[in-house]
Structure 1
Amino acid sequence: MSDASNSETPLRTIFEISLNGKTVSISTVGQAYRFLTNFSSVEWMEFRSLHADAVRWLQGAADNAILTVPATDAVRALFVKAKVL
C-alpha cells in the first residue's frame, strides 16, 4: 500500500479553498489526504462518515489511479457538505 500523503496522483479537478484568508489549491491525492488528515478528528466530527469515505477513497487512489474519479467525488461531497467550497 502506497503512502497516500505523498501521492502525486492528480485528482480529476483542482479544489480552491479559502483558509485563513489565503487560497489553498488541492490538485493531488496527497494534498487532499494531508488536508483531510492534518486537522484533528474533532474538526470533521460532524461529517464523520463523509470524511471516512473520502480518506478511504484517497488511500485507494494512491495505489490505483483509476480510483481518482470516486476519490474526487468523495472529497467534493465532503467539501460541499462542510461548506468549504
Structure 2
Amino acid sequence: MTAPESLSLWYAQNLTTNGLQGWIQSNIVPLILLGIAIILLWIGGRGDNAGVARRSVGLLVGLVALGVAVSGTGPEVGAFLASLITG
C-alpha cells in the first residue's frame, strides 16, 4: 500500500458528522425557531388568537421532538413512555 492510499484510508475511517450536527444545532435550529416566532406574532397581530393557540400546541409538540432528537435521549424517553403503559 502506498502512502496516498494509506492516507485516504485513514481519512475514510475517521469521518464523522459531528461538525455538521454542531453547525445545524447552532445555526439552523435558532433560525427555524425565530421564523416560527415571527409567524406566530404576525398571526396574533391580526387578532386570530385561536389560530395562535392551535399552532402553539403543534409547535410545542415539535419542539419536544426536536429536543429529544438533538439531546440523544430517545431511548430513555421511549423506555419511560413504555413504562407508563406497562407499569
How does the TM-score come out when normalised to structure 2? Answer: 0.30
Counting strand residues as a fraction of each chain, which structure ranks higher? 1
Higher Rg of the two aligned structures:
2
- The two structures have a TM-score, normalised by structure 1, of 0.31
Structure 1 or 2: larger helix share? 2
